[in-house]
Structure 1
Amino acid sequence: MRTTSSPPSVPQPARRIMAIWCRELMLDRWRHSEGCGAGEGADAQPLVLIAETAHGPRIEAANALARAHGAARGMMLADARTLCPQIAVHPSDPAGDLAFLERFAVWSLRWGPWSAMDAPDGVLVDVSAVAHLFGGEARLLADVAKCCAARGLTVSAGIAPTAGAAWALAHYAAPGTVIGPDEDVAERLAGLPVAALRLDADVLLVLRRLGLKQLGDLSGMSGDTRGRDSLHRRFRNRKSPAANPLVRMDQLTGRVPEPLLPVVPMTMPIVQRRLLEPIRHRELLDQVVSDLADDMARTLEGRGEGARRLQLGMWRVDGEVVWRQLELAAATREAAHITRLFAARLDDVDAGFGIEMLRLRASWAEPLALAQADIEAAAEGHGTSLAACMDRLTVRLGAKAVRRPVLKASHLPERAQGWQPPLEAEPAHQHQLAFHQRPAKLLDRAEPIAVLYASPDGEPRRFRWRGEVFEVARVEGPERIAPEWWRENGRTRLRDYYRIEDEAGRRYWIYRNGLATDGRGGMPEWYLQGLFA
């Protein structure tokens, strides 16, 4: 008797998460936009970033000099000016801060296989089984501090088995603190304040009133059955994790998994032309746009993609930038089609003293494989395909004036298709069902007809529609279509469809709604729903 043994299982590496906290993200973003480092230029004086509110300007961020004079985040600007009249003021940019954090998250992929944004001012990086590439986790954190300092970023970082514990280290522990995979997370973090749980301000106030000021106090209650029950009763109506200390404590210690959304870097195809001499005439502008369309077509072909949204930027000599945007009904990389669409959007462009640079960017692209030329591709080259026609109508009439039919997953004729704007992507789950022959024209609503037939369940012999009587010469059917039981009630009747032809050769699509013996109503009713060509 021969026995086989299964190969030994490979142990999975312990999960390690690194949290990077950008302590002065708003100011660092402002310094990057102004091209100065910390302590240089305008940042060498008291400086604050403000946001407009209903009660006046409010401080969103303050540099070290401004904080030394008493300015703080959340303070009204008028109060800060009484403490420091020479304070410099600049507007904040929340959208720019978020874009800056997203770029920083992509740049943080140098330390791990994936990273996630921890808005509003942090990044989480998975560093499981990669620390040895940097000489250990301590050297990894040192490399983070060195690289961020070289880019003018003020950061604090920490590594722990969970995202919550790493966040607590980065915000409330000494820089470079590490919790090992075999250490007790709750015990290591017992001395940190309860604010390290990423809770809402009102929840923190309640915990302080209860005397729970440190994680050790909360850990003792959450570990005890009676204490956990009392906390659960107090916060049981809080659905958000940031409003429930028990959920946050379980995430901190790893009892409950915390979902993270990795950042996926995406590069947009961009082509541009820097002109030797500024151009002002329309003919030259059209030529440059045509050249850019050719460059974009080659770029997209190399990536195996087609553009769905194109943005054309034109930089004028006086510094103004004019933008024009296109959204296409289907992915394309046909240069002639793109040039033709942009030509309708350039009539109102004011070149001023001249345009010195043009840039074409595909901000939305979809996979578009290479295919042998066919009738549809040849038609697109001449601007007569359906997608090209929808693009030209949308540019001329507007996106709301054009709709296109789309297939729906239903076997009922009136529900088998619908209408949607041409620029919306067709739902992936919709697919065409296999049907018998269908008429070329369906009425918007089936119209009742009067039918004469040999028996209640027999074939129609004569029918009256719109005041005219039609003699039936040929009949084909019936084709039975059952109701959609997941939508209709139990009283909905079956349909028997017939394809009929009258004595003049005209063909119709009619159906009988119900059977005489189905027990779901009175006598069956007849309707005409479509006309064959």
Structure 2
Amino acid sequence: MTAGQRILSVWWPQLAIERWAKTNDLGPDAPVALTVEGTHGLVIAAVTKAAAHSGARVGARLTDARALDPSLINVPADLAGDAALVGRLARWAARWSPLVEIDGRDGLRLDITGVAHLFGDEAALVEDVRRRFAALGLSSRAAVAPTPAAAWALARFSPSPARGEELAVLLAPLPVAALRLSPQSVRTLERLGLKTIGALVGVPRRSLARRFREADNPLDALDRALGRKPEPLIATACEPCPRSLLRLEEPATYPEAAAQALEQLIPNLVGQLEQRHLGARRLMLIGFRVDGSMAVASVATSIPSREAKHLQRLLADKAAALDPEFGFDAFALEAEWTETLGAAQESLVEALSGTRDIARLIDRLCVKLGPERVRRPRARESHLPEQASDWVNAVSSLRGAEGDAAIQKRGKKLDCRASLAMTARPQRLLDRPEAISVIYATPEGVPRRFVWRRVVHDIDRVEGPERIAPEWWRAPSKCRLRDYYRVEDASGRRFWIYREGVIGDGRGGAPAWYLHGLFG
């Protein structure tokens, strides 16, 4: 153990399920288990609170958990996605330490020796770590100790490690599993009556070492935890962002200096992107002034790009607006957000898809109008008309091509009846259905007359109904089904109306009528 060394261990006990919950369509109370392939079938890797209450446990087989709760929902775990998230969090955690190690699939270990005073003290640093990860939607546990193994044990097994106590005293009441041994070694120790770390201290080393292999020797693990044997951290490899730098011999005081610097910065940056098979999503131009201050301009792209002319055009106006004040003596162009981009060829004989042209147009509009004023439609997984799409920022993390592919993939899953129904949808859909008064011959019959915005419409033709059930996995149990009708009034105007609910369905009073869209 290095004198004065301090290690911070961070653990996210629910990382997999919390990451899944951000992108799923199920409600927060759904009994969901994330599973992986095991030797004898699917094994549970993470569970929601509802699934835990019904008896599902991490490490149990899915078949055993479903015997306790047949309604348990199985979702394949995304181990690669979880690992990628941990890698991004490790790079982000460099704000607290220059040495960050990825600790398995759900944690980090940071060497905070000599840096805690920058945040006040160790307690303030730990609180800052918890608060920032909570803002990201991740529940975390953290502990500080003189050794990496002890920090790992305290973060996972100690309810609230007391400050100021000796390390051996803090570790003594913890279970032997806190020494990070294999499950077989833990079971062997428990059979011998050695259930806590403190119980291992008085055991003769030779007699205990004979029962275990070197890798699973609990005494070696104890020595690492107490600092008697070294355990260095392995820093996470972090490749720097592509960056192009230009230093000037003399300070430039004219406003055109930044725009002229782009002519040298962009080719250099594009070359780095090509070598690493990357495309830029966000570029930042920094002008360093002689007085130590900086001027910054940034732009974002809707799809990854390393086309020099396009990037030059996006940055030209913003670069010209940078104020040199007392003069610039250096410029830097950095691709702070990149995505993988391989070599691509549209077509030699067929018509071009136009995806790149649309992306360039979106990028130019965002530069001129601001990214918050440029939006695009996005398809959603919902069969309710008003929830089947929404509007998102045009420059978003979901690329347009991927969104189109997802829409096409979902479209292939629709059966013929659903496809025919979709073709009969109106061209204009109201943002919110508006209540109307309807006269009909029988409670379950077709409408004959309705009043919308104080105007009476006599119905001449009716098509329907098209029944749409409520989304029971999202909506509460009191939501009612809908019967949609395509109607035409005496003047030839066509409307899309629906009746919400059926008499006697037990979900409210009389059915209500709404107008949802207009044809033509």
Q: What's the TM-score, normalizing by structure 2?
A: 0.51
Q: Is the 8 A contact 2:443 2:503 kept in 1?
A: yes
**Separation in structure 1 between the aligned mates of residue 96 and residue 486 of structure 2, nearest angstrom:** 61
SS in 1 for 2:269: helix
Correspondent of 1:118 among 109, 112, 124: 109
SS in 2 for 1:282: coil
Correspondent of 1:514 among 490, 495, 501: 501
Q: Is the 8 A contact 2:285 2:319 kept in 1?
A: no
Q: Is the 8 A contact 2:258 2:331 kept in 1?
A: no
Q: Is the 8 A contact 2:362 2:374 kept in 1?
A: no
- 2:357 is aligned to 378
SS in 1 for 2:487: strand
SS in 2 for 1:386: helix
| TM superposition shift of 1:120 | 1.9
In the alignment, structure 1 residue 410 sits paired with structure 2 residue 382:
yes
| TM superposition shift of 1:466 | 0.7
- 2:368 is aligned to 392
Q: Is the 8 A contact 2:301 2:359 kept in 1?
A: no
1:73-472, aligned counterparts within 5 Å? Answer: 98=96, 100-102=98-100, 118-121=109-112, 202=162, 205=165, 228=195, 252=221, 263-275=236-248, 277-346=250-319, 349-369=322-342, 370-372=344-346, 373-381=352-360, 385-394=361-370, 399=372, 404-422=376-394, 424-426=396-398, 432=407, 433-434=410-411, 436-437=422-423, 438-472=425-459
| TM superposition shift of 1:446 | 1.1
**Separation in structure 2 between the aligned mates of residue 337 and residue 380 of structure 1, nearest angstrom:** 10
1:491-502, aligned counterparts within 5 Å? Answer: 491-502=478-489
| TM superposition shift of 1:482 | 0.6
With over 3 angstroms needed to count, the CA separation of the structure-2 counterparts of 1:530 and 1:96, relative to structure 1, is: closer
Q: Is the 8 A contact 1:328 1:391 kept in 2?
A: no
| TM superposition shift of 1:363 | 1.3
Q: Is the 8 A contact 1:25 1:97 kept in 2?
A: no
With over 3 angstroms needed to count, the CA separation of the structure-2 counterparts of 1:334 and 1:445, relative to structure 1, is: same
**Separation in structure 1 between the aligned mates of residue 272 and residue 461 of structure 2, nearest angstrom:** 58
Q: Is the 8 A contact 2:485 2:498 kept in 1?
A: yes
Task: Report Cα offsets for 1:53-81 as digits up to 9, x if no partner.
Answer: xxxxxxxxxxxxxxxxxxxxxxxxxxxxx
SS in 2 for 1:119: strand
Percent identity reads 35
Larger gyration radius, structure 1 or structure 2: 1
| TM superposition shift of 1:394 | 2.2
- 423-432 or 303-312, which moves further after superposition? 423-432
SS in 2 for 1:351: coil
Paired letter, 2:111: P
With over 3 angstroms needed to count, the CA separation of the structure-2 counterparts of 1:339 and 1:522, relative to structure 1, is: same
Q: Could you list the runs of 5+ residues in structure 2 that have no partner in the other structure?
A: 8-91, 114-143, 180-185, 200-217, 224-232, 347-351, 412-418
> Cα RMSD between the aligned structures?
5.2
**Separation in structure 1 between the aligned mates of residue 480 and residue 449 of structure 2, nearest angstrom:** 23
**Separation in structure 2 between the aligned mates of residue 211 and residue 525 of structure 1, nearest angstrom:** 65
SS in 1 for 2:435: strand
**Separation in structure 2 between the aligned mates of residue 171 and residue 330 of structure 1, nearest angstrom:** 45
1:475-494, aligned counterparts within 5 Å? Answer: 475-494=462-481
| TM superposition shift of 1:481 | 0.8
**Separation in structure 1 between the aligned mates of residue 390 and residue 5 of structure 2, nearest angstrom:** 51
With over 3 angstroms needed to count, the CA separation of the structure-2 counterparts of 1:485 and 1:351, relative to structure 1, is: same
Paired letter, 1:364: W
SS in 2 for 1:512: strand
- 1:531 is aligned to 518
**Separation in structure 2 between the aligned mates of residue 95 and residue 491 of structure 1, nearest angstrom:** 45
SS in 1 for 2:366: helix
Paired letter, 2:515: L
| TM superposition shift of 1:409 | 1.8
- 1:63 is aligned to none
Q: Is the 8 A contact 1:330 1:387 kept in 2?
A: no
**Separation in structure 2 between the aligned mates of residue 448 and residue 525 of structure 1, nearest angstrom:** 8
Q: Could you list the runs of 5+ residues in structure 1 that have no partner in the other structure?
A: 1-19, 27-93, 107-113, 123-166, 173-188, 233-248, 255-259
